[in-house]
Structure 1
Amino acid sequence: MTVKELKEEAKSLGLVGYSKLKKEELIELIETAKAKVIEISKEEFETSVTANTENTKVLGYDNEDDWHELRAKRIGGSDVGAILGVNPYKSIVDVYVDKTEGSDFKGNNATYWGHVLEGTVLKEFSNRHKELIVYEVPYSVVNDFLIANLDGALKDKETGDYGVLEIKTTSVWNRREWEEDIIPQSYYAQIQHYLMLTGYKFAYVAVLIGGNEYKEFKVERSEEDIELIRNKSTEFYNENLLKKIPPMPDGSDAYMQHLKKKAMEIENNKIIELVGFEEKVEMLKNVTREKKELEKTENLLKEEIMLEMIREKTLKAVVGKSKFNILSKKSLDKKKLGKEQPQLLKEYEEYIEKFEEQTKDYLKESKYIMPYLGK
């Protein structure tokens, strides 16, 4: 087909943004648009799940409110990484608060666009895997306190084996998390959680990075990891959720933020003596001293590398697989912002996301150059 004919076909398919594409790109766009993604029937999904699992059932939901109610008290795939301590953005205490007090999170730009682009990534995956039937799954797999909500299900046309398909979309700033041959640990835990509840044998993770870079990863079922997830989730449910006892601190930033939020609710300034904390305080002092020494050593090593780069008159260098860039760092011009929008500056901590969006025009280049160590 000619480019003109391809553009006419793209138009007939209701596609947009194709006018400046090359022939090869047009063909890819059209093939992806034509890729088949079927909604799996509840009967087939139930049969595929219950064939290899016990005490699980498949539930549907009529609207988003029903889905939120269904998962409100159950442990889902996105919770498991936090329970295991491998989620850098969420702590086990966040899961505890969500399940016992409810969550007021209604989504943001990232979740909105992730949902919008999910269907596109599903079709792209289907276009690349003619050996698989790709299903949408508008159902939940549940047992007493666990739940799995799959983005998609897969069926191997040759073997008949079923698998999980998980779709991710992420910012270009998170590209480093996906550079290696393995997926981030929290997503790996999520996938094994889904394999545990469905009884499926394999999974794929398809990720769209920065809106224009597609990658995919195959994940095999691991009985050892599934057993760990089952034990930790059961312990958390029985010992924390049922007994309404918050989990102990885990050293995460998220747990510290939780404690700071709780501390803000206290008005009492009376000094009290903490009994039995002498050993912990001494350990804290030692750790603080060691941290300062390590930071000094870290800075010294960076300075030596940076000095050599300056001698060589370069902003980029490599040592084996390690990459070094001398980058200029942006900082907020608070003086200018304070004059023009003092209320916005005052509400910085409470409205951090809104603040970052509205202050992008107040960024200025720092006078300092900082060495950056990449993987």
Structure 2
Amino acid sequence: MGMLDYQPLVLVDTTDLPRDEWLAYRRKGIGGSDAAAVLGISPFMTARDLYYDKLGISAQSDEENWVAKEIGHLLEPLVAMIFEKRTGLKVYQRKVMFQHPQYPWMLADLDYLVEMPDGSRAILECKTTTSNSADNWWYAGKEIVPVYYESQGRHYMAVTNIDRVYFCCLLTDNREAIIRCMDRDMAYEEELIVLEESFWKENVLAQAPPPYTESGELIMRSLQRMLGPAATDVPPVVITPPQFSRVKQFLQLQEKKALYDAESKKVENEMKRLKAMIVADMGKSCTALYEDAEGSYTITYKPVYKQGISKEALEKLKVLYPQIYGEYVSTSESRRFHVKKLSANAA
């Protein structure tokens, strides 16, 4: 029984809904997977990316990460089966898009529902990742739900008035499964609703883009998606004094980093010298051993082999076999950012 007395509305049956129509319905509100971007904690997209998506000016490319998305979608039934076998609980689907009765912009498209032994229901979210990302499910040795998934689960609980969410995450490279359980937190939920409502009304409906607040790497990826390839024929932009404050701060940090880099270079050079002396002590052996009262040590200096093509060989290929070169060598674009003070203005 929910803490509150309401039932979710059904916005649309998604059983045979074409993808473009499903996307159009998603743009009528905020879904669970959107919550992390609204809160500024998504590792995948900024709040501004989400804003453009809701207005139909999508910054997300269907080509981007499409393999990972397809793997996740195709493996959902398998992840649900693993959950059933591991827990003994039964799961089922309701292929509808739910809508909060009080906050119509809150939508929920659930992977599965879970039949609990006491007759109540829970939600099951199916995830896939690799063992490289498994650490996100632990913190200081304790089991957790990654914050960006937590916001999704709490959004779903708010929409459906269900008090528990299970997460089952399959590590596709080693076939291990991580299962987590999360119960309702009304304080978190109330804050989430306030922030989502603000985003929906003050940004999406008002057509006012939210500011960038996320990490520099995430913002740059967002800008690259929105701006596309470099437009080298566009004239220079004259920025304003408030905008220039960022440039000044960047230059100050650049100077600070140069000092750190110089100190780091000294340390690195000393480490290289010591490494060379150790290798000299090892002679032709790839391994050295040492043991004292503090513990045992193993030092290795083993060969690593990899295949590649040198710059010189690439130039020969271009001259001798231009057709093969043209077919297999592609050009990618990257852009260098640089700030330089030209001269001091006369007083």
TM-score, structure 2 normalization: 0.70
Question: Counterparts in 2 of 1:62-81, with a 5 A limit?
Answer: 62-65=16-19, 66-81=21-36
Match of residue 251 from structure 2: 285
Tell me: CA distance 1:63–1:286, structure 2 relative to 1, closer, same or farther (3 Å).
same
1:110 aligned partner, one-letter code: A
Deviates more, 1:67-76 or 1:329-338: 329-338
Residues 142, 197 of structure 1: 8 Å contact kept = yes
* Cα drift, residue 123 of structure 1: 1.2
* Whole-angstrom CA distance in 2 between matches of 1:326 and 1:295: 27
Per-residue deviation, residues 245-299 of structure 1 (Å, max 9, x unmatched)? 2111224323223334427458432453523344333222223333445566778
Aligned equivalent of 1:162, options 104, 121, 124:
121
Q: 1:112 to 1:271 in 2, by over 3 A?
A: closer
Would you say the 8 A contact 2:7–2:161 is kept in 1? no
Distance 2:179 2:208 in 1: 39
CA, structure 1 residues 268+53, in 2 after alignment: closer, same or farther (shift >3 Å)?
A: same
Percent identical across equivalent pairs? 23
Q: Does 1:137 align with 2:89?
A: no
Matched, 1:227 2:211: no
Q: 2:160 aligns with which of 169, 191, 198?
A: 198
Indicate conservation of the 8 Å contact 1:136/1:151, yes or no.
yes
Q: How does 1:247-286 map to 2 (within 5 A)?
A: 247-252=210-215, 253-260=217-224, 261-262=226-227, 264=230, 267-270=233-236, 272=238, 274-286=240-252
Q: Is the 8 A contact 2:8 2:159 kept in 1?
A: no
Give the number of aligned pairs. Answer: 290
Q: Which amino acid aligns with 1:157?
A: P
After TM superposition, the structure 1 = structure 2 runs for residues 231-250 of structure 1, keeping only pairs within 5 Å, are 231-250=194-213
In the alignment, structure 2 segments of 5+ residues that lack a partner are 279-286, 290-299, 318-323, 335-347
Task: Provide runs of 4+ in structure 1 moved above 6 Å.
Answer: 48-51, 296-308, 325-332
In 2, Cα distance between equivalents of 1:219 and 1:281: 44
Counterpart-to-counterpart distance in 2, 1:329 and 1:186: 39
When the two chains are superposed, the root-mean-square deviation of aligned CA atoms in Å is 3.7
Q: Is the CA contact (8 Å cut-off) linking 1:133 and 1:157 kept in structure 2? A: no
Per the alignment, residue 39 of structure 1 pairs with none
Residue 130 of structure 2 is aligned to residue 175 of structure 1 = no
Q: 1:176 to 1:313 in 2, by over 3 A?
A: farther
Shift of 1:125: 0.8
Aligned CA distance change for structure 1 residues 138 and 333 (closer, same or farther; 3 Å): farther
**How far apart, in 2, do the equivalents of 1:166 and 1:273 lie?**
46
Residues in 1 aligned to 2:178 and 2:137: alpha-carbon distance in whole angstroms: 8
2:210 partner letter:
P
- Inter-CA distance 246–265: structure 2 relative to 1 (3 Å threshold): farther
For residues 151-178 of structure 1, what are the alpha-carbon distances to aligned partners after superposition, in whole Å with 9 as ceiling and x for unaligned? 11123212x3321110001133323333
2:111 and 2:260 map into 1 onto residues whose CA distance is: 44
Quick check: 1:59–1:142 contact (8 Å CA) kept in 2? no
* Counterpart Cα distance in 2 of 1:347 and 1:295: 31
Q: What SS does the aligned partner of 2:123 have? A: strand
The CA deviation at 1:210 is: 2.2
Structure index of larger Rg: 2
Aligned to 1:317: none
Measured at CA, do residues 326 and 218 of structure 1 come closer, stay the same or move farther in structure 2, by a change above 3 Å? Answer: farther
- 1:174 and 1:236 mapped to 2: Cα distance? 29
In the TM superposition, residue 231 of structure 1 has moved relative to its aligned partner by 1.5
- Conservation of the 8 A alpha-carbon contact between 1:150 and 1:166: yes
Cα drift, residue 82 of structure 1: 1.4
**SS of match in other structure, 2:70:** helix
Q: Is the 8 A contact 1:168 1:205 kept in 2?
A: yes
Q: What amino acid is aligned across from residue 175 of structure 1 in structure 2?
A: A
SS of the residue aligned with 2:242?
coil
Could you say if the C-alpha distance between residues 271 and 154 of structure 1 is closer, same or farther in structure 2, counting changes exceeding 3 Å? closer
Distance 1:268 1:215, change over 3 A: same
Cα distance in structure 1, aligned partners of 2:37 and 2:121? 27
Decide whether aligned partners of structure 1 residues 54 and 156 sit closer, same or farther in structure 2, where only a CA change above 3 A counts: closer
The worse-fitting range, judged by mean Cα deviation, of 242-251 and 213-222 is 242-251
Note closer, same or farther for the CA distance 1:276–1:78 as it changes in structure 2 (3 Å cut).
same
Give, in whole Å, the separation in 2 of the partners of 1:334 and 1:108: 32
Q: Give the 3-state SS of the residue equivalent to 1:276 in structure 2.
A: helix
Conserved? CA contact 1:94–1:255, under 8 Å? no
Q: Does 1:348 align with 2:332?
A: yes
Counterpart Cα distance in 2 of 1:60 and 1:184: 30
- CA 1:272/1:113 → structure 2, altered by over 3 Å: closer, same or farther? closer
Aligned mate of 2:12, from 39, 47, 59: 59
Q: Which structure 1 segments of 5+ residues have no match?
A: 1-47, 315-324, 351-375
Partners of 2:46 and 2:218 within 8 A in 1? yes
Higher RCO (Cα < 8 Å, 6 or more apart): 2
